[in-house]
Amino acid sequence: MSAIADKAAIVGIGATEFSKDSGRSELRLAAEAVRAALNDAGLAPADVDGLVTFSMDNNTEVAVARELGIPSLEFFSRIQYGGGAACATVQQAAMAVATGIADVVVCYRAFNERSGYRYGQVSSALASAPTSSGIDAGWSYPMGLGTPAAQVAMIAQRYMHVYGATSEDFGRVSVVDRKHAATNPNAFFYGKPITLAEHQSSRWIVEPLHLLDCCQESDGGVAIVVTSVERARDLPNPPVIIRAAAQGSGSDQFVMTSYYRDALTGLPEMGIVGEQLWSQAGLAPEDVDVAVLYDHFTPFVLIQLEELGFCPRGEARHFIADGALEIGGRLPLNPHGGQLGEAYIHGMNGIAEGVRQVRGAAVNQVEDVAHVLVTAGTGVPTSGLILGAA
């Protein structure tokens, strides 16, 4: 049994609206999300003694603490590797709570990713950074491979070649996410489902990826409040227990360009996360009632299903057929609409959905949810969570 499993609980979630142009500062989005999460938890800023975010977040812990009037912090931490940080922020919080380093830790992520700096464009700043990441980028950016879509497309093409998956197989992920988003009033694509034919006819971004294989770009913020299971019992919401929390990085790991491993058909870093999650929680894939899988690009949802053990390698396209990922199917996926349908908040909105599903309070609620699996960014060193009812 892991030292952190079942020691900490998520007791509050909060978010701003999700939009293409928030019209306000990233710090304000962070402060609004954290305040909303504390209100949800029935806690005050003075109860908070820890803050965790992504290394990519532009709002320092001290700036957020100032805006909230948090009088003192005893724990603050940041996680690297873009969206791979999402579930790891909760792992950091759970470790701090389990070890007694902190009592109430808030994880947050807020950005103007659409109206401000857009991750989907070519980042010349990354390519010219005098760091090991900058040196790594020198093996791809000068050759013209410099956007997340292109970086994912390279692996997707190989995966299609080896296993016979098709663009339509990828499109089914997009269709189910948009179906779920269509009935989620908080989703950017509320009321806007798509068909597989629309996916197929959407323009190329980077072959083999169509536009509708790529998640949206969003402005917004999400915050998650973590405290001990004991304290959680005294708070208003039913506690959502952190059954397992893990990070993973694999052999010969690069950030988005791990192209030099023997096979180019998997996400070994996610496999490493999955093994820890099953081990910590004492659970297996068949125990999962809802999967919130990181879906910035559709092909990596299929590969995650394989890495996490839901199906054998190369068979995800069969696993997802016949509505398996829809609510009522054998593994409901992203009932909030995912990042393809709800919003791209770097995976943090997926954790909030996992919490709602365990509480039984989601807009697209799955019946009798005991365990939710949540994953973070793919193609990068990443992380995952299993959330469960008390």
Cα dihedral across residues 96, 334, 177, 306: positive or negative: positive
**DSSP-derived 3-state class of residue 226:** strand
Binder to other proteins among 73, 264, 366, 370 (CB under 8 A)? 264
Task: Specify the stretch interacting with other proteins by CB under 8 A; choose among 70-78, 134-142, 282-290, 318-326.
Answer: 134-142
Binder to other proteins among 41, 88, 137, 374 (CB under 8 A)? 137
- Residue pointed to by tokens 């080896």: 162
Task: Specify the stretch interacting with other proteins by CB under 8 A; choose among 21-29, 50-58, 218-226, 252-260.
Answer: 252-260
Of 127 and 370, CB closest to other proteins: 127
Of 26 and 217, CB closest to other proteins: 217
Binder to other proteins among 27, 63, 73, 129 (CB under 8 A)? 129
Of 127 and 182, CB closest to other proteins: 127
Q: How far does Cα 21 stand from its chain's mean position?
A: 21
Binder to other proteins among 117, 119, 259, 319 (CB under 8 A)? 259
Binder to other proteins among 8, 65, 154, 316 (CB under 8 A)? 154
Angstrom distance (rounded) from CA 48 to CA 102: 9
Q: How far does Cα 245 stand from its chain's mean position?
A: 13
Alpha carbon separation from 163 to 61, 169, 170, 294, 324 (Å, rounded): 45, 11, 13, 21, 20
- For residue 222, the surrounding DSSP H or E stretch is strand 219-228
Minimum CB distance to other proteins, residue 119 (Å): 12
Minimum CB distance to other proteins, residue 261 (Å): 9
Angstrom distance (rounded) from CA 356 to CA 182: 18
Is 81 a catalytic site residue?
no
Is 294 a catalytic site residue?
yes
- Which of 316, 342, 79 is CA-nearest to residue 216? 342
Could you give phi then psi for residue 156, rounded to 5 degrees?
Answer: -60, -40
Q: Segment 208-227, which members bind other proteins (CB under 8 A)?
A: 208
**DSSP-derived 3-state class of residue 45:** helix
Angstrom distance (rounded) from CA 24 to CA 31: 11
Task: Specify the stretch interacting with other proteins by CB under 8 A; choose among 24-32, 118-126, 324-332, 349-357.
Answer: 118-126
Minimum CB distance to other proteins, residue 378 (Å): 17
Alpha carbon separation from 273 to 247, 268, 373 (Å, rounded): 5, 9, 11
- Which of 108, 109, 335 is CA-nearest to residue 226? 108
Angstrom distance (rounded) from CA 222 to CA 31: 10
Minimum CB distance to other proteins, residue 70 (Å): 39
Task: Specify the stretch interacting with other proteins by CB under 8 A; choose among 74-82, 115-123, 194-202, 375-383.
Answer: 115-123
314 binds other proteins (CB under 8 A): no
Minimum CB distance to other proteins, residue 343 (Å): 21
Of 114 and 356, CB closest to other proteins: 114
Minimum CB distance to other proteins, residue 270 (Å): 19
Angstrom distance (rounded) from CA 350 to CA 105: 18
Minimum CB distance to other proteins, residue 255 (Å): 13
390 binds other proteins (CB under 8 A): no
Angstrom distance (rounded) from CA 65 to CA 92: 18
Q: DSSP state, 334?
A: -
164 binds other proteins (CB under 8 A): no
Active site residues: 294, 344
Residue ranges in contact with other proteins by CB under 8 A: 120-122, 124, 127-130, 134-147, 150, 153-155, 157-158, 161, 203-208, 252, 257, 259-260, 264
